Structure formats: structure tokens, C-alpha cells
Structure 1
């Protein structure tokens, strides 16, 4: 009987190799999926820098080990039955008023969260055992050892597959939420509020408004000794940003726009005997 077992050993070892390879491929799919979730579940930065910020997050996540990924995933992506408040989720900066922040979380009841945390930790241990310790734990130089290894690999694959399915379900939920958010962001109401600084009740967030940003751009072009002529800025903006008009923001003149903007100063100088309006970005006290 022992001789027969020894004759079957090469076939048993090949089956162990096949099952181990199958597990490793599934593990790579698992790691790829959790990297996607970690990289895309939150995003924050100036609106014009979002794609660059997103690329940095993806690149940074790609370099992390599974242990690091799970450590970030738990508590940031998967949370214990809570919804992050706007104060926690949004960071605003006076230097970058057009700041976008998104943080999607998977809220689980406390018991489910504890179970998910335990299963994710077990996946890290399972991965490390398969990669680093499998031949220490199983004697694949014997028939009985190969059979035990096969049983362990079949169970391991089932665990990996089950956890991957859970990640895929969470990823689909987040994708649906992203699509809904993207649809909302395409609406005129969102663009008016987040980009133009116009709210539905007619109030204006002047610091975040495009017309003030256009004035700041024009200031860089026409400033002389710390001030820029408003007439020159108006002509430049009309050519460069024709959609930015004072009437869009409820103003009758460019002087009124500058007067209303809390981050701009308006001053009149006598030029060739005529009173002319100049402006500049307001310096902080």
C-alpha cells in the first residue's frame, strides 16, 4: 500500500500545485477589488485638481499590501452603523474655496461590522499563510500530506471566493451611488451651486463664484502697483469668460460685483482727471 501511495505522489503533488495556483489567482482578484474600493471610496481636493488627486490615490493604493489595505478599509470604507457628518466628510479651505469632498461608507450593524472585521483580518492571515507558510504547514512530500493540503486549499478557495463576492457586492453598491452622484453633478442646479456659487434661493457664495475667480485671473494680467483697472478687467473677462456677467449674479455692474465680493477691495483713483475704478484681492488682516 505504501508503494502504491508513493507511485501516486507526483499526481497528488500536481493537484496541490493546481489548487494552490487557483487560490493565488483568486487572491489576486480579491486584492484588486479591495484596492478599487479603497482608492475610490473617498476623494477630496480643488475641483480643477480632482483627476490628479484621483490618480495619486489609485497609484498610492496600488503600492499597499493587503494588510495595509484592510487596515484602511475597516473604519474608513466599512464602518459600524454610522453616517459621517458633513463636518467630518468635507474639508474647506479659504485658499481653495472650490473644494470638492466625497466619502462613501458601508454602514453595518455593530455585530455585522465585527464579523466583517474578523473575516477581513482572517483573509490577511490566509493570504500570508498561502504565500509564505504553506509548505511549512503541509508535508507535500507524502501522499497523506498532499491530501491534507488539497483539503485545505479547497476550503481556502471557498473562503476567498465568498469574501470576493462580498467585496463585489459592496463595489456595485458604491458604483450605483457614484453614478447617481455623477447624474446630480450634471444638473444646472449643482453647477450653479458648486461652480458658479449660485444657490437656489438667489444668494451667492462670492468666494466660490466663477465671476470672482475670473476677476482674480484678470488681476494677474492687469495689476500695476497692487491694483488693476476694472474697465480693462471687464473687457478681458468678456473675451475670455463671456458667460460670466454681473446680471447672472444679480448685479447691475462690475463695480457691484467687486463691492459684494468679500475677498476683493474696490478703490477709485483719478486718472487724467477722471475717476476710475480699480480693484485688488483683499489681504488678510
Structure 2
């Protein structure tokens, strides 16, 4: 019975922690709140929850931040861990856990009625039954511990990732770990859109003015971060801005002006173009060795 209690306790811990989602200011208390709700659940109910959200078939999808229930005025976050299985393995695992539930109920409600503990043979038979039951329960417990260990290691890997420079580059700058990106997703283009919109709306504004605002508000967003030599290159390649050169007088040098590019509907029959961006950075050893 102790092993069954250990199984139930571990299962409740897993179910309380394998998913979190919602506004970031609510995340810290979610596991404790979920644990409180799970505290009164039977083993059968816990098993149903297990196969409804954690042990799932391959291809399982679960929307953790549905649009109609996610507030738009606060930052939200979601993460979930799954143990996916092919249909045959999943069916076998479900059956094994259901047998554990049935065994638990048998031990709790029918053990004394099943064996005559008033004589030696009845006690011997009961001991043999309990030893066999322990092995069956322990097999499921070790399986559950394996899932917990896998989830723990995945959480460690995720924590390491979100603290890495590569993840921060992806999150804030739109640069993938291999160095590739689409201009529309980059931090520099998002910041440029904001500054141009703030300074001029849909009208033209001098690029020098935009650059001054970028330096003041987004000093880390530079063309060089995105493998570009100039601001004009970023503006032109992104496809999100119009760029033209003007003179203040006939003798003055031309200076660049920029505006947000108006949306242009796709012409009938025209193919949708691939979003502009940069491909992966060639590994250093490939650059050294050259083509084989």
C-alpha cells in the first residue's frame, strides 16, 4: 500500500507541474493551485487526467493559450511537457495503468474478504498475493519515475536554453540559432516601424532623424547585428519601407528619406514571394575547407 501511495503522490506532482500557461503574473502560483485541486482526486481520476494531457498519442496538440481566453493587455507564457506514444504502445500503457487502478481497489476493499487470515495457509496465500502485487505496482511506479525524470531533464534543458544568448537573440531579435532570419520578424525592423510611425505616420521622414531615435531608444539594434553594412540596406532588403533621396537645394548632397511602405494587394495570378531575410551562417569549418 505504501508503494501505491508513492505512485499517487508522484502522479499528482507530475500533473501539477507538467503544464503552465497564462499571464506571467499568475504562473508562480499555478502549480500549488493545481496540486490543491488534485489532492482530492482518486487514482482512477488521476489516470484519466494523465492520458488526457501528458501521456498522449503522437501528433497530439493542445492549445494552452486560446485566443478567446488570453488577455491582450498582459504578457502571457505557456509551456507543456508530453510523453508521446504510438497507438499500440499507448493502448498497452493505458491498460497497465487501469490494471493498477483495479489492483489498488482490490487491495483496499477486498483483501480481507479474499483470504482467510485466520489460518496459516490463508496468511501464506495473502503474503504471496501481496508480494506479486508489489512487483506489479513497483513496475508502474518505476515507469512513472522515468517520466518524471525525463520531464525534469527537459525542464533543465529548457531553463538552460532560455538563459542562452541564442534564445535571447531568437526572442528579441528574431535571429534563429543558425543565424537565419526573416526581416519582418527582426528586432531592428520592428523598432524601425515603430520609430517611423511615431515620427511621421504614413508620411516621409529623414533617415537621419530615424537613426537618432534608434540610437536613443534601441542602441543595440544595429545593421551589423543583422549582417548588413548600412541602414539603407536594412530598409531596402526588408521590403517594409520606401526609401528615396532628396536634396534640400540644387547644390546640397542627396539625403535619404524613408516611410512605411503602403500595403499593396497581390496582383491576380501573381505568386506569393518568399519573405525576405538571411539564410543560415556558413559554419566556420566549411568556410575554411571550401567546397569538397
TM-score by length of 1: 0.58
> What's 2:251 paired with?
none
Within 5 Å, which residues of 2 pair with 1:1-285?
24-84=1-61, 88-92=63-67, 93-188=70-165, 190=167, 199-200=174-175, 201-202=186-187, 203-204=189-190, 246-247=217-218
Contact 1:77 1:105 in 2 (8 A): yes
Distance across 2 between alignment mates of 1:61 and 1:204: 43
Aligned-pair CA distance for 1:56: 0.9
Aligned-pair CA distance for 1:191: 5.1
Distance across 1 between alignment mates of 2:28 and 2:166: 22
Aligned-pair CA distance for 1:187: 3.0
Q: 1:145 to 1:246 in 2, by over 3 A?
A: same
Contact 1:90 1:102 in 2 (8 A): no
Aligned-residue CA RMSD (Å): 2.6
Aligned-pair CA distance for 1:116: 0.5
1:160 aligned counterpart, secondary structure:
helix
Aligned-pair CA distance for 1:190: 4.2
Distance across 1 between alignment mates of 2:161 and 2:126: 52
Aligned-pair CA distance for 1:90: 3.7
* Greater fraction helix: 1
Aligned-pair CA distance for 1:98: 1.3
Contact 2:22 2:65 in 1 (8 A): no
Structure 2: gaps of 5 or more residues: 176-185, 192-215, 222-292
Residue by residue over 1:22-43, the C-alpha shift from the partner in whole angstroms, topping out at 9 and shown as x without a partner, is xx11111111111121111111
TM-score by length of 2: 0.57
Q: 1:96 to 1:129 in 2, by over 3 A?
A: farther
Residue by residue over 1:224-249, the C-alpha shift from the partner in whole angstroms, topping out at 9 and shown as x without a partner, is xxxxxxxxxxxxxxxxxxxxx73259
Q: 1:36 to 1:180 in 2, by over 3 A?
A: same
Aligned-pair CA distance for 1:193: 6.3
Distance across 1 between alignment mates of 2:150 and 2:58: 16
2:218 aligned counterpart, secondary structure:
helix
Aligned-pair CA distance for 1:144: 2.1
1:84 aligned counterpart, secondary structure:
coil
Distance across 2 between alignment mates of 1:184 and 1:50: 19
Contact 1:31 1:66 in 2 (8 A): yes
Structure 1: gaps of 5 or more residues: 1-23, 206-244, 251-285
Distance across 2 between alignment mates of 1:189 and 1:178: 17
Contact 1:91 1:101 in 2 (8 A): no
1:121 aligned counterpart, secondary structure:
helix
